[in-house]
Structure 1
């Protein structure tokens, strides 16, 4: 463990918190975005296929970033990475900054930790699965790993009855029948077998030549295997292993998307031995879904475009992950999206055949940000009224007509028209294609009202009565039997 004097530690903390008061986010999310893979390999394990189908019907989940970075309210992990797109306080050396960052673990004490509140908030939003950061790139573990002392159960929170927070988070969400996802970072910048103090840490990659020190890299492989084994064996049923840090990968799998991140590509392979990990994980958790982000092949069972939605419909499993605010983790005074904006993104994602994972970062005290809660509830209110157009639906070829998106199940087609925020709902709405079957009834889903419509050529026009226009928010949903 690295240590700063308490006086120096709190001086730096005060300086950083003071600068944060001037901005909702000090650091742009630049070189850390994981692009969508261009190659997809379908899993052959029938149990994985079955679980993927269940997951694909859930449509909407919560991604929770929580760690020591919540204490000062800064970007998760990345400020200790020395790459050009990142900034740190003026007048402070890089090494001093890292020392300060490591020591956030000595003051991270979430005394109000309430995983049931988190699960209630996710349920109120209409979410059906959760992915929690058991460890981010900084190497701070949010579970009681036996592989290192750099963990939540070895600081001021260690005597709390729920100190092993991952266990209690998973339990809280399981009680609500959520699918459970364990986020795990493959790189570990705190580990001496990844970032060795013998050398500088110029970028996100391992900072020594593993061809010269193969035993050191083997130690890291074993460390990774053992930690994931702990998660697979000691934390109940896990449905998803969500592996981040896609630059840690076999060198032969490096693609243009990886090169676009801007970090140097080492001449050697940063292989953590996924076949060994996968065999162990699937023995412990049959059918578990792997999301080895951007590493196309047998361990990327679904793709994960970050902060973006693919331009067109995709016919294989995928998940857009985006933030409710500007940041993944907690940042004071973050600028949260409106519920309508989130609903619009969710509709587009589902119409294109994907799921959406929405990032919400709890506060350092262990509670969800209070300003996020009503937004999540508003999203859930819309989903409660329009659930049949989202959950368990499939994408269709003609998925889009201007502001209207389409989904379908075995019985109905749904036309979902996104409404412009701050603008009155129009008296009529039109779209092209996906025509109602001749003589069929068209209903507005949230009210159940049958609406008048006309068809001219390939265009449907629906009359929206005053009562519906007054009540509807974010998006209008119509159901009908199509041709």
Structure 2
């Protein structure tokens, strides 16, 4: 009897062991794969290629000063910023608000930043509500300050300023609201960027007195930053930077970023620059990142993005601009309504984008196989400016209305029709100097070629196309009641040989009038439309 009970227990233990062994995923590798080996098996994850719209908060300590431009940490040490006019108020504002930079420098601005009203749950919930399918937070900027709990760098948001692990908090909220989460890194240029911190005034009361970039750990005795080394933040003075020191900086950057991509288990890593930061050091970070995802999940469901060239396993990022044709690989355009960091400089309060232009960018990018990553300019306390909430609400209303034409959409044979509509309109209308200048400045060089509120509006007949599940979506960018002609949808067109039987407008039960001939499709745009921005028409079984 005792023997039988023992045998039963043995069976139970064996069964439990087998059950545990099959229920626990085992993705561990014998060795870390090289970047080249990882590239061979890499595929862009569906969550990214189907997202089309993401939100980025380009937010950090440089939002704390209300004026001084987005490079405040650099420009506050420059009495004359030369042609970098976006920072021309930084020095004056700093002296007036904090003190002279020979005594009170950027390190002290870091300590002033508290992010006291940051609610990452509320932000992520809102961003999902307006249609964002991924979210990105700034991990560090050119100022080198880490917005995460770095064990390799003391100048971080847990030790200074907010005393919070900002990247960690966003990570937890992203998991809670089931949204892919990314981080952006910008600090690989800090050594050159910080050089003004080692200068001094050229004139005035403090002429020749060194700025606080020259301060040492000893200078902190009895001050709030006692025990911390300014040289860790600003770097060594240029004359003390040996080749060995430069390698030490690069190695430290690598350690910080390896920790960033593994500890927070991110889905998306964005670099601000061309290629891998610090070359092989940046490649090693990406290698660690992809291996980490492979070990954790059995697949590399992650994205590395930046201004890369000839690197097929990365996403091409285009700053404030977009592709001028359909690209065969995923890409994204990044932009911001006004400035990258929230500022109130008196000559830079005008918005470059409104809901209309943001929607137009999204439509144009997705018709060419791209995503739009839109920055939200958080206030220093971590909340969204009221005027930007209004703008985002309008964008979100349009996205939620037309989501079937957005998420998981693919480009058609061509990205649009009536592509020269702006030129035609300007030929017919009396236009202003601003219109002509905006058209003249529009470039095909991708970066910084985006259309803004200052650009001439699209003609009423210009459209973009997306497709999904045998459905063609025709998106009229600047709709107006009346007829438009689309040659690409004529029966003799090389792109469309099928007879169109019905057309619907998303969000409306209005019967859509149309006529298809061998040369073109004539589409009647009704006056009663569900949204005042771009109208989306649906053609099934094309």
- For the criterion TM > 0.5, the same-fold answer is yes
**Aligned partners of 2:133 and 2:61: how far apart in 1?**
27
1:330 aligns with 2:342: yes
1:187 aligns with 2:188: yes
1:75 aligns with 2:69: yes
1:238 aligns with 2:266: yes
Larger Rg: 2
**Aligned partners of 1:191 and 1:280: how far apart in 2?**
27
Unmatched 5+ stretches in structure 2 = 1-35, 201-212, 214-233, 295-299, 419-461, 491-495
1:85 aligned residue? 83
1:398 aligns with 2:411: no
1:339 aligned residue? 355
Which moves more between the two structures, 283-292 or 404-413?
283-292
**Aligned partners of 2:489 and 2:50: how far apart in 1?**
22
TM (norm. structure 2) is 0.67
* Higher relative contact order (CA closer than 8 Å, sequence separation 6+): 1
Check the 8 A contact 2:73/2:143 in 1, yes or no: no
The 1:205/1:103 distance shift into structure 2, 3 A limit, reads: closer
**Aligned partners of 1:104 and 1:247: how far apart in 2?**
31
**Aligned partners of 1:293 and 1:205: how far apart in 2?**
25
**Aligned partners of 1:134 and 1:153: how far apart in 2?**
13
Equivalent positions of 1:101-140 (< 5 A) are 101-140=106-145
1:6 aligned residue? none
**Richer in helix (by share):** 2
The 1:272/1:88 distance shift into structure 2, 3 A limit, reads: farther
**Aligned partners of 2:301 and 2:238: how far apart in 1?**
33
The alpha carbon displacement at 1:182 in A equals: 1.2
The alpha carbon displacement at 1:148 in A equals: 2.1
1:308 aligns with 2:330: no
1:49 aligns with 2:43: yes
**Aligned partners of 1:375 and 1:71: how far apart in 2?**
23
- Render the CA deviation track for 1:342-376: whole Å, top value 9, x for unaligned: 11111011111111101112111111112111221
1:463 aligns with 2:518: no
The alpha carbon displacement at 1:248 in A equals: 7.3
Equivalent positions of 1:30-429 (< 5 A) are 44-46=39-41, 48-51=42-45, 53-73=46-66, 74-77=68-71, 80=74, 84-86=82-84, 87-89=87-89, 96=101, 100-158=105-163, 163-187=164-188, 189=190, 213-235=242-264, 237-246=265-274, 270-271=278-279, 273-286=281-294, 287=300, 289-291=302-304, 293-298=306-311, 301-324=314-337, 326-332=338-344, 333=349, 335=351, 337-402=353-418, 403-419=462-478, 425-429=480-484
**Aligned partners of 1:291 and 1:62: how far apart in 2?**
16
2:427 aligned residue? none
Check the 8 A contact 1:419/1:473 in 2, yes or no: no
For the residue of structure 1 that corresponds to 2:411, the secondary structure is: coil
For the residue of structure 2 that corresponds to 1:407, the secondary structure is: strand
- Render the CA deviation track for 1:416-459: whole Å, top value 9, x for unaligned: 00126xxxx31333322135732522111122544221013332
Aligned residues between the structures? 405
TM (norm. structure 1) is 0.75
Unmatched 5+ stretches in structure 1 = 1-40, 250-269
